[in-house]
Amino acid sequence: MSATVSSAAQQIFKRIVVHNKLLDEATAEKLLAKEPDPEKIIQFFVQNKKIKPELGQQLLGLYHKQLEKQAEAEAAAALSSTPAPSSAPRDAPDDLPLLELDTDDEETPSPTAARTGPDTPSRNVSEAKKETAPATPRSEKPAGRGQYDPAIVRILEAARAVKASDVHVKSGEIPLVRVAGALKELENYPKLEKEAVEAGLLTLVSEAQRERFLSTNDLDFCFDGGDGLGRFRTNFLRQHRGMDGIFRLISAEVPSFAQLKLPPMVKKFTEYKQGIVLITGPKGCGKTTTLAAMVDLINSNRPEHIITIEDPIEFVHPCKKGHVNQREVGAHTGAFANALRAALREAPDVIMVGEMRDLETTSLAITAAETGHLVFATLHTPDAIRTIDRVLDVFPPKEQGQIRSMVSESMRGIVSQLLLPSADGKNQELAVEILVNTTAIGNLIREEKTFQLRGIMQTGKRLGMQLMDDSLLELAKSGRITKEEAVAVSTEQARVRKELGL
**262 and 406, same domain (yes or no):** yes
Of residues 57 and 237, more confidence is placed in 237
Position 56 scores a pLDDT of 75
Q: Considering the domain boundaries, does residue 396 fall inside one? A: yes
Q: Considering the domain boundaries, does residue 488 fall inside one? A: no
**121 and 211, same domain (yes or no):** no
* CA 136 – CA 148 distance, rounded (Å): 14
**162 and 55, same domain (yes or no):** no
**348 and 445, same domain (yes or no):** yes
**234 and 264, same domain (yes or no):** no
In the sheet that 231-239 helps form, which strands lie side by side, from edge to edge?
A: 182-185, 176-179, 166-169, 242-250, 231-239, 218-224
* Cβ proximity of 467 and 433 under 8 Å: yes
**154 and 112, same domain (yes or no):** no
**228 and 266, same domain (yes or no):** no
The helix/strand/coil state of 310 is: strand
Percent of the chain with pLDDT over 70: 84
| Band (110; pLDDT cuts 50, 70, 90) | very low
Q: Considering the domain boundaries, does residue 493 fall inside one? A: no
How confident is the prediction for the chain on average, in pLDDT? 85
Quote the number of domains for the chain.
3
Percent of the chain with pLDDT over 90: 66
Position 360 scores a pLDDT of 94
Does 117 have pLDDT greater than 60? no
**What is the pTM assigned to this prediction?**
0.69
Q: Considering the domain boundaries, does residue 408 fall inside one? A: yes
- Residue by residue, DSSP assigns 216-246 as HSEEEEEEE--TTT-EEEEEEEEETTEEEEE
Give the alpha-carbon dihedral of 202, 207, 211, 213, to 10 degrees: -40
Adjacent-strand bridge partners of 277: 376, 413
Q: Of 202, 232, 250, which residue sits at a domain end?
A: 250
* CA 161 – CA 182 distance, rounded (Å): 16
Q: Of 228, 250, 272, which residue sits at a domain end?
A: 250
**291 and 224, same domain (yes or no):** no
* CA 407 – CA 285 distance, rounded (Å): 25
**276 and 382, same domain (yes or no):** yes
In the sheet that 411-421 helps form, which strands lie side by side, from edge to edge?
A: 323-328, 305-310, 350-353, 374-379, 275-280, 411-421, 428-436
**261 and 315, same domain (yes or no):** yes
Least confidently predicted of 36-40, 275-279, 289-293: 36-40
* Cβ proximity of 194 and 108 under 8 Å: no
CATH, residue 263: 3.40.50.300
Q: Considering the domain boundaries, does residue 499 fall inside one? A: no
- 380-396 pLDDT, tens digit per residue, is 999 999 999 999 999 99
Nearest CA to 435 among 257, 298, 297, 268? 268
**234 and 363, same domain (yes or no):** no
Position 79 scores a pLDDT of 55
Q: Considering the domain boundaries, does residue 494 fall inside one? A: no
- 19-34 pLDDT, tens digit per residue, is 877 888 888 888 888 8
Of residues 45 and 277, more confidence is placed in 277
* CA 456 – CA 474 distance, rounded (Å): 19
**201 and 284, same domain (yes or no):** no
Q: Considering the domain boundaries, does residue 280 fall inside one? A: yes
| Band (134; pLDDT cuts 50, 70, 90) | very low
- 438-490 pLDDT, tens digit per residue, is 999 999 999 999 999 999 999 999 999 999 999 999 999 999 999 999 999 99
- Domain housing 190: 150-250
CATH, residue 173: 3.30.450.90
* Cβ proximity of 352 and 376 under 8 Å: yes
Position 17 scores a pLDDT of 82
- 79-102 pLDDT, tens digit per residue, is 554 444 444 444 434 445 555 444
Position 77 scores a pLDDT of 62
